[in-house]
């Protein structure tokens, strides 16, 4: 590569300030919204149910039945999942048509409409607006979780791609923590404030609309998808600095030459592409495992464990904030370690530690009444499991979805991965209560099996992607015979051997 040794050293020490600000601008209205809307709905549960009962009584002069009230509340909560599934199925297509940055900016319309609907639900006496509003927040989250990692992965230099990609996980956990804090009674957690609490989803949207337009579109999208050479060079200079943009320009140009004449693939075309079958199988398994690995079960049991440890009911919300802070700190730690240890070490280590926690949690729940110390051991297992999840699976999964694909297959890959993730989210929410009723504390043995199988698969199949270009990673998955047959052009470009 035509870049000086000193340039490489400076590039590895710290990313360009403009690059970091662009990533923050993308994340604040992207996956921060996703995390925020997951957690912010928990605090006003009782108040919203009281509002629905009161509205029903005013309309029909009768209290709503407990069963129907539960159904209405479940509908409000599940609309987020349905919206997320819709959002992720259109996110990849929008990212090709509008660009990564353009899609993120347009996506804020859904957040603003959702905030308006949910904020107006109480003064208008229409709880139906909450259902529609949560659907729109889900669509916003689905598009964000699909497109934002695309943008981060494509604007980042190779040496910082993992750390930049961790922005997705850091801002999700930051959103969850912020939602938990804002939902405390001292802030907006009182009954009279719940419409304002749900409407605060407009704040990150406004922030992104104010900040992101100052930063460029993805350089890879500009050159490879749009053929805009000047736009790409200008974006690289702004994001990476004049001194450090030459190597990235060469990398993007190589990828463009290898993808000449190839259009962005649709999801069904990617599913039929034999050269990407192992990459596709990998992201499908990892995205399913991200929801099915037991993290939801841990949060389900958390309140029970905290009560068993003697924490008063009115203080549990503060301990829950502690779990959110724990996950956020771990995501930050993962971001600092990922370029040092690599993706494979972190995600394998995370799932291994989760497997151990599943065994310990099963034992502590089985002997909960054996000693006053056991509930505290269970609490330790809760925090250890959350730390293990944040250390690897929570953040590295999205990074691998970016790195295992080239420019023409990446949007379709995110649509497939996101669909699997949201479907698994919906599935575990539907099936998990029955698993708990049937197996009780032994449900963690199911999650033990899932985590253990994922460790074996990653160890055997997934290569380390640290400091490798997208083309090098793609060729890692090709059969050895195909790799030997791949040719090299005069500029040192490895040509993709398999059909795209």
273-287: buried (b, 16+ CB within 10 Å) or exposed (e) per residue?
bebbebbbebbbbbb
Report which of residues 275 and 194 the model is more confident about: 194
Whether residues 61 and 174 fall in one domain: yes
Could you tell me if residue 260 is inside a domain?
no
C-alpha span between 317 and 6 (Å, rounded): 50
- Phi and psi, residue 494, nearest 5°: -75, 120
Whether residues 396 and 455 fall in one domain: yes
Whether residues 196 and 275 fall in one domain: no
Could you tell me if residue 22 is inside a domain?
yes
Whether residues 273 and 205 fall in one domain: no
C-alpha span between 179 and 173 (Å, rounded): 10
234 confidence band (pLDDT: 50, 70, 90): very high
The owner of tokens 């009115």 is 314
* In contact, 415 and 266? CB cutoff 8 Å: no
Average pLDDT (319-323) is: 85
Could you tell me if residue 133 is inside a domain?
yes
The pLDDT assigned to 13 comes to 60
The pLDDT assigned to 219 comes to 92
DSSP 38-73: HHTTTTTHHHHHHHHHHHHHHHHSSPPPHHHHHHHH
Q: Where does residue 497 rank: exposed (0-12), middle (13-18), buried (19+ CB within 10 A)?
A: middle
17 confidence band (pLDDT: 50, 70, 90): confident
The pLDDT assigned to 273 comes to 87
Q: For the chain, what is the domain count?
A: 2
HSE-up of residue 268 (Cα within 13 Å, Cβ side): 0
C-alpha span between 327 and 390 (Å, rounded): 6
Convert 411-464 into a string of H (helix), E (strand) and C (coil). HHHHHHHHHHHHHHHHHHHHHHHHHHHHHHHHHHHHHHHHHHHHHHHHHHHCCC
The model's pLDDT over 399-455, given as tens digits with 9 standing for 90+, comes to 888 889 888 888 899 899 989 988 888 888 777 777 777 887 788 899 999 999 999
Whether residues 287 and 186 fall in one domain: no
Whether residues 333 and 190 fall in one domain: no
* In contact, 338 and 399? CB cutoff 8 Å: yes
Structure tokens, 50:
């009281």
Could you tell me if residue 279 is inside a domain?
yes
Could you tell me if residue 243 is inside a domain?
no
- Phi and psi, residue 422, nearest 5°: -70, -35
440-474: buried (b, 16+ CB within 10 Å) or exposed (e) per residue?
ebebbeebbebbeebbebbeeebbebbebbbbebb
Angle at 420 (CA atoms; ends 109, 149), nearest 5 degrees: 50
Could you tell me if residue 249 is inside a domain?
no
* In contact, 267 and 23? CB cutoff 8 Å: no
The model's pLDDT over 105-154, given as tens digits with 9 standing for 90+, comes to 999 999 999 999 999 999 999 999 999 999 999 999 999 999 999 999 89
Structure tokens, 468:
């490798």
C-alpha span between 118 and 135 (Å, rounded): 11
The pLDDT assigned to 7 comes to 41
CATH of the domain at 164: 1.20.1250.20
Whether residues 25 and 152 fall in one domain: yes
The pLDDT assigned to 386 comes to 87
Whether residues 93 and 157 fall in one domain: yes
Average pLDDT (485-498) is: 42
* In contact, 110 and 140? CB cutoff 8 Å: yes
Could you tell me if residue 499 is inside a domain?
no
Structure tokens, 216:
């460029």
Percent of the chain at pLDDT > 70 equals: 92
Q: Report in angstroms the alpha-carbon separations of 477 from 66, 161, 199, 279, 465.
A: 54, 19, 46, 7, 11
The pLDDT assigned to 498 comes to 39
Picking from 156, 180, 215, the residue at the C-terminal end of a domain is 215
10 pLDDT more than 90: no
Cβ count within 10 A of residue 37: 26
CA dihedral for 232, 233, 239, 244, sign (positive or negative) = positive
Q: What is the largest CA-CA distance in the chain?
A: 81
Coil/strand/helix, residue 125 = coil
**How high is the mean pLDDT of the chain?**
85
82 contact partners, CB below 8 Å, separation of at least 6: 135, 138, 426
244 confidence band (pLDDT: 50, 70, 90): low
Q: For residue 457, which of 348, 356, 333 has the smallest C-alpha distance?
A: 348
Structure tokens, 421:
């993730």
Whether residues 134 and 40 fall in one domain: yes
Average pLDDT (64-91) is: 89
- What is the total residue count of the chain? 500
Whether residues 169 and 269 fall in one domain: no
Percent of the chain at pLDDT > 90 equals: 41
53 pLDDT more than 50: yes
* In contact, 123 and 132? CB cutoff 8 Å: no
The pLDDT assigned to 300 comes to 66
**Cα–chain-centroid distance for residue 371?**
39
The pLDDT assigned to 135 comes to 96
12 pLDDT more than 60: no
334 confidence band (pLDDT: 50, 70, 90): confident
- pTM, entire model: 0.85
Report which of residues 5 and 226 the model is more confident about: 226
252 pLDDT more than 70: yes
Whether residues 181 and 307 fall in one domain: no
Q: For residue 177, which of 443, 425, 390 has the smallest C-alpha distance?
A: 390
Whether residues 337 and 408 fall in one domain: yes
Q: First-to-last CA distance in the chain?
A: 26
The pLDDT assigned to 243 comes to 67
Question: Which ranges in 367-409 belong to alpha helices (H)?
Answer: 374-391, 393-403
Q: Which domain holds residue 205?
A: 16-215
Could you tell me if residue 75 is inside a domain?
yes
* In contact, 318 and 43? CB cutoff 8 Å: no
């Amino acid at each position: 590569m035509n870049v000086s040794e000193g340039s490489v050293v400076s590039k590895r020490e710290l990313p360009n300030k403009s690059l970091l600000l662009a990533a923050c601008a993308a994340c604040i209205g992207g996956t921060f919204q996703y995390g925020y809307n997951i957690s912010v709905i928990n605090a006003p549960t009782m108040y919203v149910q009281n509002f629905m009962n009161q509205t029903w009584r005013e309309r029909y002069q009768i209290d709503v039945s407990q069963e129907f009230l539960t159904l209405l509340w479940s509908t409000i909560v599940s609309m987020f999942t349905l919206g997320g599934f819709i959002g992720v199925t259109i996110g990849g297509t929008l990212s090709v048509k509008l660009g990564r940055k353009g899609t993120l900016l347009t996506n804020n319309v859904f957040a603003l409409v959702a905030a308006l609907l949910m904020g107006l639900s109480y003064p208008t006496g229409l709880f139906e607006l909450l259902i529609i509003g949560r659907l729109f927040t889900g669509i916003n989250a689905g598009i964000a979780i699909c497109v934002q990692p695309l943008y981060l992965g494509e604007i980042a230099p190779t040496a910082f791609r993992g750390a930049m990609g961790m922005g997705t996980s850091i801002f999700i956990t930051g959103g969850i923590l912020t939602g938990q804090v804002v939902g405390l009674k001292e802030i907006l957690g009182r009954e009279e404030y719940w419409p304002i609490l749900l409407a605060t989803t407009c704040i990150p949207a406004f922030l992104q609309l104010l900040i992101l337009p100052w930063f460029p579109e993805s350089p890879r999208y500009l050159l490879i998808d749009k053929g805009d050479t000047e736009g790409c060079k200008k974006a690289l200079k702004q994001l990476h600095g004049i001194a450090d943009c030459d190597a990235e320009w060469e990398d993007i140009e190589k990828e463009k030459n290898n993808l000449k004449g190839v259009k962005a693939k649709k999801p069904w075309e990617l599913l039929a592409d034999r050269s990407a079958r192992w990459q596709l199988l990998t992201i499908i398994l990892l995205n399913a495992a991200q929801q099915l690995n037991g993290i939801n079960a841990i949060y389900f049991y958390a309140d029970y464990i905290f009560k068993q440890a003697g924490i008063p009911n009115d203080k549990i919300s503060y301990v829950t904030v502690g779990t959110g802070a724990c996950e956020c700190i771990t995501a930050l730690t993962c971001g600092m370690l990922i370029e040092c240890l690599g993706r494979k070490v972190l995600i394998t280590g995370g799932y291994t530690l989760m497997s151990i926690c599943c065994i310990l949690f099963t034992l502590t729940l089985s002997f909960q009444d054996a000693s006053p110390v056991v509930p505290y051991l269970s609490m330790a297992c809760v925090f250890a499991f959350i730390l293990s999840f944040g250390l690897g699976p929570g953040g590295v999964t999205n990074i691998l979805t970016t790195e295992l694909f080239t420019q023409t297959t990446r949007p379709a890959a995110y649509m497939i991965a996101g669909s699997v993730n949201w479907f698994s989210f919906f599935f575990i929410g539907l099936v998990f209560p029955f698993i708990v009723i049937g197996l009780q504390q032994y449900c963690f043995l199911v999650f033990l099996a899932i985590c253990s199988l994922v460790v074996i698969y990653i160890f055997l199949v997934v290569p380390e992607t640290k400091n490798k270009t997208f083309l090098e990673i793609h060729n890692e998955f090709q059969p050895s015979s195909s790799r030997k047959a791949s040719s090299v052009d005069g500029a040192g470009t490895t040509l993709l051997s398999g059909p795209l």
